[in-house]
Chains A and B, each alone.
Chain A
Amino acid sequence: MSRATKGKRVFMQGNIAAGEGAIAAGARFFAGYPITPSSEIAQHASIYLPKVGGTYIQMEDEIGSIGAIIGASMAGTKSYTASSGPGISLMNENIGLACMVEAPCVLISVQRAGPSTGLATKPAQADFLQTRWGTHGDHAIIAVSPATVQECFDLTIKAFNFAERFRTPVFVLMDEIVGKMYETIDIPDTKEIKIENRKIATCPHEEFKSYNFDEDLIPPFAPFGGIRISKANGSGHGLDGYPDTNPENYDRSVRRLTEKIENRKEEICLYKIYGFKDAEILIIAYGCSARSSLAAVEQARKNGFKVGLLQLQTLWPFPDHLIKRYSKKAKKIIVPELSLGQLKSEIERYVKNIPVVGVNKVGGVSITPQEIIKELETGYK
């Protein structure tokens, strides 16, 4: 059995912790293609899934990998894949397919420095917007992002729960630092792990329609092979899953796919707040940069700075409500990230009256606490 079945304290790599989280969440199908720095997740799946009656398959490419996990999901199995930016780029068309057919699935993306092959495989956080807008067309997406090995485990479970609850693809957006890092984590006893499963259709089978959604905008699921005949359709469809190109119908469909997630930000947006809740300087960060930020906050507070850190654990839907809540007293927001300002630009859409300053590095090395402290001291009275 997988290590996750026993409650204990273990020294573990971030990628492995994500893999353990997946199996603990009930995932039983993995399809993927090797890519550094994510390959340990595939290797872990190939060893541990067959032990629990699950299936691992290494596909011919990432396009095939996501195709397979969507298929497996529609047959009723919790499914996941793992990759990095170049592989996610290849998956993008079918990420839209997963949104459209409403296939719950989890994509673990361990970010490395791009564009293209870039610095294989130094850390980066420049796929923040790729997770949101990589696939074409209006859609909503959920992305969570761990900053510690413990969070790799915990947030991967959350990712599966969100995928099941909302019938949608969910990203676990990691980075090379967090994925390759070893830390001691607590793996809870199986009984203590909260696992959610998709809502299953219970109506009489002759009345079943694949996309007949409930009040929560989410259609109850019927797996392939069941008595309720299921029509998964990546093209514009009506409630019954058959093609429908009527403009009013399609407008409603696309709005529903977006609203079923965007309307429920409060329950999806996970975060941690460190330091002052009414900080004069607010740092907003996620993943590896949240680690550097935390070190900077601890040091700066000793030096008398009224500084706080908002660590975003959910990146999408974007937690603008949290940013507004915690920046009320702030005179300045600092956004350290291993990109040229993707997170910063998103924050600036919602924060208009105070300066939002980035600490940006794209050379494939992490941001140091000192670099953040330097920015903290700039203009602070």
Chain B
Amino acid sequence: MMRYNGKKFLKKELLPFFWCSGCGNGIVMGCIARAMEESGFSKKNTVVVTGIGCWGKADDYLTTHTFHGTHGRALAIATGIKLANPSLEVIALVGDGDGATIGGNHLIHAARRNIDITVIMSNNFTYGMTGGQYSGTTPFGAITSTSRYGHIEDEFDISELVKAAGAAYVAKGTVANPLQLQKFIFKAFKKQNGFCFVEAINICPTHYGRANKLGKAPEMIERLKKSSINIKLAKDMKPDKLTGKIIVGEYINKKVDGYIKRYKEVQKRATI
């Protein structure tokens, strides 16, 4: 798998990435670039849409067509691009603030209608760019710059949510296991029809890690490894044993028509 380096999709002269030292976004970027190459994508035929936030800067480094849009709206923009030109590979990169919080409504509806795009969510449980506030995926009890006394809200399991909304493919990996994460992204890219979603559990040593005394990047990566548990194993475990665990694996991989195929039927029916 590692024989793909994905270099042709990265703008070499703009490297290194601007993200903080220890941030896992670079790992996710590497996985995406390699998976693009492995999938046989071309720069010409690929459009990457981003929102706003740390992960929203990802498009700066890509050699494909890109659209750097507004906070939370990457999926709406991606939907329009895909419908206007269904032959394009359309990928949206969103963070947990961008995709699971302000853009949560677009996410569940894109999954429900199975628009044929791939979404890769970098989930670091916090708003990094604005200074480490709590997001829709921040765990109960966590300390953030706006939950100094401990977070009182429960978090979304965003992969479960997208699966429940009807997506064709949903998988969760972590930056502690790039090989697995890359495999999930590759499978999402290769999926022919429907909405594909890969959640990449990421680390933010600068804000989330520091506020919750999780140590520096190597310790946070180690923690991810220890708390990851495969979905197949988790299935037979009691809920109390899964507290604080990250359930990695494929949440769903099902055959669907996809929006494009169904809309082509509409066009046929309309012209009869």
Chain B CB within 8 A of A71 CB? yes
Chain A CB within 8 A of B191 CB? no
* Chain B interface residue number, banded: 35 or more
Complexed CA–CA distance, A28 and B45 (Å): 21
Determine if A64 and B84 form an interchain contact, defined as CB atoms under 8 angstroms apart.
no
- The interface residues of chain A, by DSSP majority, are classed as mixed
Determine if A231 and B66 form an interchain contact, defined as CB atoms under 8 angstroms apart.
yes
Closest Cβ neighbor of B80 among chain A residues: A71
Closest Cβ neighbor of B106 among chain A residues: A64
A136 to chain B, nearest CB (A): 12
Of the stretches A50-58, A193-201, A319-327, A334-342, the one at the interface is A50-58
Determine if B83 and A67 form an interchain contact, defined as CB atoms under 8 angstroms apart.
no
Partner of B85, one of A65, A76, A97, A229: A76
A83 to chain B, nearest CB (A): 15
- The interface residues of chain B, by DSSP majority, are classed as helix
Task: Give chain B interface residues in 110-165, CB to chain A under 8 Å.
Answer: none
A90 to chain B, nearest CB (A): 11
Complexed CA–CA distance, A51 and B268 (Å): 8
Chain A CB within 8 A of B109 CB? yes
Closest Cβ neighbor of A78 among chain B residues: B84
Chain A CB within 8 A of B4 CB? no
Determine if B270 and A70 form an interchain contact, defined as CB atoms under 8 angstroms apart.
no
Closest Cβ neighbor of B44 among chain A residues: A227
Closest Cβ neighbor of B74 among chain A residues: A67
Closest Cβ neighbor of B45 among chain A residues: A225
Partner of A232, one of B67, B76, B88: B67
Complexed CA–CA distance, A231 and B269 (Å): 36
Task: Give chain A interface residues in 301-338, CB to chain B under 8 Å.
Answer: none
Of the stretches B57-65, B201-209, B211-219, the one at the interface is B57-65
Chain A CB within 8 A of B73 CB? yes
Chain B CB within 8 A of A187 CB? no
Chain A CB within 8 A of B220 CB? no
- With A57-B79, A72-B80, A72-B81 as given contacts, are A235 and B44 in contact (CB-CB < 8 Å)? no
Closest Cβ neighbor of B102 among chain A residues: A63
Determine if B88 and A224 form an interchain contact, defined as CB atoms under 8 angstroms apart.
yes
Chain A CB within 8 A of B271 CB? yes
Chain A CB within 8 A of B196 CB? no
Closest Cβ neighbor of A68 among chain B residues: B80
Determine if A225 and B44 form an interchain contact, defined as CB atoms under 8 angstroms apart.
yes
A65 partner residues in chain B, CB cutoff 8 A:
76
Task: Give chain A interface residues in 240-255, CB to chain B under 8 Å.
Answer: 241-243
Determine if A60 and B80 form an interchain contact, defined as CB atoms under 8 angstroms apart.
no
Partner of B84, one of A55, A233, A243: A55
Chain A CB within 8 A of B77 CB? yes
B141 to chain A, nearest CB (A): 32
Complexed CA–CA distance, A241 and B83 (Å): 23
A73 partner residues in chain B, CB cutoff 8 A:
80, 84
- With A63-B73, A229-B43 as given contacts, are A71 and B263 in contact (CB-CB < 8 Å)? no
A69 partner residues in chain B, CB cutoff 8 A:
80
Closest Cβ neighbor of B43 among chain A residues: A229
Chain A CB within 8 A of B185 CB? no
What are 12 A-B pairs with beta-carbon distances under 8 A? Answer: A50-B267, A55-B84, A59-B109, A60-B106, A60-B109, A63-B106, A67-B69, A67-B76, A67-B80, A70-B69, A224-B47, A232-B69
Given contacts A63-B73, A225-B45, 4 further A-B contacts (CB under 8 A): A50-B271, A55-B84, A68-B76, A94-B73
